[in-house]
Amino acid sequence: MDKLLLRRGFASSSRSLHKTVDKKAAAAKKYHGDNVKYGSLSRAQRAFLDRVVRVDQAGELGADYIYFGQYTVLASKYPHLKPVLQHMWDQEIHHHNTFNKLQTERRVRPSLLTPLWKAGAFGIGVSTALIGKEAAMACTVAVETVIGGHYNQQLRVLMNQFNDVPVYDKETGEKLKEADLPRDVATSSELRELKSLISQFRDDELEHLDTAIEHDAEKAVPYLLLTEVIKLVCRGAIWTAERV
């Protein structure tokens, strides 16, 4: 036991000697993406990212299928809506594929209720489109409002709760202070890309919201009832998809 302590004592003192030398060198050293190493995320942080990927994948799958349902009913009835719907649907397919890729790469469990989300989303798309094109647009308004808000909430957590991830010098393994680092190195590109991805997708969703309002969404007959019910369903689905 004593021997061990002694060795440890030596080790730490020699390390602190190194540190003072390195600090001088580090002051002049410029840090960029390649000469730093990032520490591991905490359990809570990983659990949060796990939920984010799963719920966003399920959400984009839902959006994809809602537009699929709407397109099936409306495309032949209203040819002038065809390009509008097609454009929105294409964007949702792109979002869906992106999150599918992220899910397999980052080893996130897909939602267990995937078959239900598919059937439910297609059902909502078809049934609102059958009521009329205004109702379909009101459905888009409701869904995109909830999704936009949800993305914003995720961004808020990503901005606020991921600042304590340690950054180390790749060669010396010394922990670096945030002040010494340029802004774009302080967070890993992995997290930065996730943030820019989510904000990009949020902007796309809000653009769909504007498009839907331009196409008479507010003229749908029980507008408030329709949108509020769909919003409630979406929130319930988000709550479930995060967990199951």
Partner 1 sequence: MFRTSLNLLKGSRAYHSVQHPSRIISTKGIDAVVLKQAITHIPKYGFDSLCITQAIRELEYPDSLVLALTSSASGDSLEFQLVKYWLQSQRQKLNDSVVEPSNEFHQISNEYERTKFLLKQRLLYNEPVAHHLGGALAQLVTPYNVQTSMGELHALADDIAFFAGDESNDFAWYTKRFGISTIYVGAELFMMQDSSSNFKATYNFVDGKVDELRNLGAGYNNVEQWTLFNAVSLVNLIKSQLTRG
Of 112 and 130, the one with the shorter C-beta distance to partner 1 is 112
User: Exposure of 50 by Cβ count < 10 A (0-12 exposed, 13-18 middle, 19+ buried)?
Assistant: middle
Of 39 and 182, the one with the shorter C-beta distance to partner 1 is 39
26, 41, 131, 213: residue in contact with partner 1 (rule CB under 8 A) = 41
Across 94-185, the runs of DSSP E, i.e. the strands, are: 167-169
Is 132 one of the binding residues for partner 1 (CB under 8 A)? no
8 Å CB contact between 55 and 103 = no
For partner 1, which stretch binds (CB under 8 A), given 45-53, 129-137, 141-149, 169-177? 45-53
Is 27 one of the binding residues for partner 1 (CB under 8 A)? no
The count of chain residues that interact with partner 1, using the rule CB under 8 A, is 31
Q: Which of residues 201-230 bind partner 1 (CB under 8 A)?
A: none
47, 130, 224, 229: residue in contact with partner 1 (rule CB under 8 A) = 47
Backbone φ, ψ for residue 36 (5° rounding): -120, 160
Of 61 and 135, the one with the shorter C-beta distance to partner 1 is 61
8 Å CB contact between 137 and 84 = no
Residues 6+ apart with CB under 8 A from 2: none
- The amino acid at residue 181 is L
Distances (CA, A) of 53 to 4, 86, 111: 45, 25, 10
**Chain residues in the site for partner 1 (CB under 8 A):** 1, 38-41, 43, 46-47, 49-50, 53, 57, 100, 103-110, 112, 114-115, 165, 188-191, 243-244
